[in-house]
Amino acid sequence: MAFVLSVSHTREYGRDGVKGYADRLPAMRLFVSVDLPESLHDAVAAVQGEFADADGLSFTDPAQSHVTVKFLGDVPDGEAGAVADALETAVADAGVEPFDATYGGLGVFPNLDYISVLWLGVEAGTEPFVRLHEAVEQEFVAFGFDPDDHEFTPHVTLARMQHAGGKDRVQELVREWSPTVGTARVSEVRLTKSTLTHEGAEYETVASVSL
């Protein structure tokens, strides 16, 4: 299992959590992800294109397509190395070997009556994603992060609904259409930094851990 850290680890950090630091130290917004390869980006964009006439949707950048394994939130800059170490431990504990994931099918959060997020699902390879999430969740809750308050559903966010003008169109496509984007090998998990800008979120890999 290879481990690559893209930021400096300034000091060791005990498992008493990160809370209490964020309000007085520079912080980065982090999440754990599995990124889709470039070979699937055009297919993701094509699915998004079918929703182009659904008013109110704000689409994600297909080049940034990913499955969020766990959102961590703001983490002090100096703790990135310790967080990356925790991710390495979690991936080892999961015992997941490289696997093939097929991305397809559509869904929404929280439900079709009130749509907040439009997403692309995982048709095959769900079980390894769940095992990764369970190991990451256990390790990072022990570290001091809040536990997830919802059931884990591996997915790729396609768009967020800003207003309900195009809800009927979204409902129609989600109910009647089940596109398959393609299959890709999952061989690493990343610790990703998200920076919010006026143009949308920008992502940067902080560390990567091979399966």
State yes or no: is 9 an active-site residue: no
Question: Helices H, strands E: what count in the chain?
Answer: 4, 10
Which tokens sit at 91? 């991936």
| Active-site annotation holder among 41, 66, 150, 163 | 66
Question: Which amino acid, residue 7?
Answer: V
- Phi, psi (deg, nearest 5) at residue 197: -130, 175
Contacts of 166 (CB under 8 A, 6+ apart): 51, 53, 54, 55, 56, 57
**Residue 150 bears catalytic tag:** no
Catalytic residue among 133, 155, 163, 198: 155
Active site residues: 66, 155
